Amino acid sequence: MYRKYFEPKYGEVAPWVQIDPPQVADMDNLKAWRVKSNFETLTDLTMLIRRCNCYDALMETITDDVRIKRPDGEEVLLRVYHPQGDGPFPIMLFVHGGGFMFNNLDLYDYVPRYFARFGGVAVVAVDYRLAPEYKFPIGLEDCYAALEWSVTNADSFSGDPSSLTVCGDSAGGNICAAMALMTRDRKGPKMHKQILIYPLTTFVATEKKLDSEERYGSGDYFLKYDSTDRKLGHTYLPSPDEDAKNPYASPLLETNFEGVAPACFISAECDPILDHALMYAAKLEDNGVPVDFHLYEGMLHAFINRTYQKTFEALDDIVAAVPPLRKD
């Protein structure tokens, strides 16, 4: 596929890390399954967050919900997280993960709250539409519309487009990488940083498993993933064979990176798609895009949704990666 940014150790999971079984969706009753899964996950996560010293401070963050209309007549929910103070503030568009099929704003609520409360960042989180009901590129275009809205309406939440960042995890990282290409191609909002949290960077099936998939992809390390298997692509992509070659679905396939925003990678060591991030970071670097890579040893995919010490280290590293406001 492509060289790696560096060769990791592929070590063992940290002893204090809880390894949950992989999510297996009931595709025959997907709507009901989502409701049940979201409720159970939100209940568990809320219990964890309430035990943290930062919980009360997080809940001080003021939020506003906004709905934007899409060309097909449907509406997409945005949630704006306001930092304390008068601003202006850097702007971050946050895109949640979940295999393009799962999760919502509520499940990720404390992540953008953290960025707003402790990072002084005005965050716009987007509840983009999910596959398989809404296949590529609908969810991606929802997010791009949210990016445009964030810049056009920046004054309404004291945001300053001179520092515009996109940040997303897993599927959200894929979408953010794609938006960095899209806004360059469309001459859209000037993006200053793409923060990619354990991103999926290609849907192209490989002849053999990547090293990280071979080591961690069995499902014993939370996420079950195999790039020789096209199940995820068939769920998200309307024409899997052709759409997988589209750089907006598989950013790793892009060949022209001129004008693409600098990248910060936040990756878990014990993650079957670690090599996706390592390959994309290497390709960006080889094409002159500044790259900053953070690897959290002993962590699993989705650790950003936990309350480990390294979770908060990663959140702080993300805040530190947000570019300062420009003076000119």
Query: Which tokens in the block code for residue 171?
Result: 């599927």
pLDDT on residue 65: 98
Residue percentage of the chain with pLDDT more than 70: 98
Taking residues 74-88, report their average pLDDT.
97
Answer whether residue 305 is part of any domain. yes
Q: Look at residue 229 and tell me whether its pLDDT is greater than 80.
A: no
Q: 20-29 contacts: CB < 8 A, separation 24 or more?
A: 20/222, 21/219, 21/222, 22/219, 22/222, 22/223, 22/224, 23/99, 23/102, 25/101, 25/102, 27/132
262 falls within a domain: yes
pLDDT greater than 90 at residue 233: no
* pLDDT bracket for residue 27 (50, 70, 90): confident
Residue 301 is assigned to a structural domain of this protein: yes
At 327, the pLDDT band (50, 70, 90 cuts) reads: confident
**What are the catalytic residues?**
170, 271, 301
What pLDDT is stored for residue 54 in this prediction? 93
**Domain at 189, CATH number:** 3.40.50.1820
> What single string gives the DSSP state of each residue in 40-95?
HHHHHHHHHHHTSTTHHHHTT-EEEEEEEE-TTS-EEEEEEEEPSSS--EEEEEEE
Band of residue 178 on the pLDDT scale cut at 50, 70, 90: very high
Residue-wise pLDDT for 277-324, tens only, equals 999 999 999 999 999 999 999 999 999 999 999 999 999 999 999 999
Dist CA 186 CA 226 (whole Å): 33
Q: Tell me what the mean pLDDT of segment 239-255 comes to.
A: 97
**Phi and psi of 25, rounded to 5°?**
-75, 145
Is the residue at 40 inside a domain? Answer: yes
pLDDT tens-digit map of 163-177: 999 999 999 999 999
- pLDDT at residue 33 in the model: 80
Mean pLDDT of 179-198: 99
Beta bridge partners of 297: none
**DSSP 8-state code for residue 224:** B
* 204 in any annotated domain: yes
**pLDDT reported for residue 238:** 96
Would you state the pLDDT for residue 161? 97
**Mean pLDDT, rounded, for 32-41:** 83
Whether the predicted pLDDT of 14 surpasses 70: yes
Q: What average pLDDT does range 108-129 have in this prediction?
A: 98
Structural domain that includes position 41: 27-321
In a domain, 227, yes or no: yes
Number of domains in the chain: 1
User: Do residues 157 and 123 make contact, with C-beta atoms less than 8 angstroms apart?
Assistant: no
Residue 98 pLDDT more than 80? yes
Split at pLDDT 50, 70, 90, the class of 94 is very high
Say which residue, 205 or 186, is predicted with more confidence: 186
pTM of the predicted model as reported, rounded to 2 decimal places? 0.96
Q: Quick check: is 307 in a domain?
A: yes
Residue 50 lies in a domain: yes
- What's the whole-number average pLDDT of the chain? 94
pLDDT of 72 > 90? The answer is yes
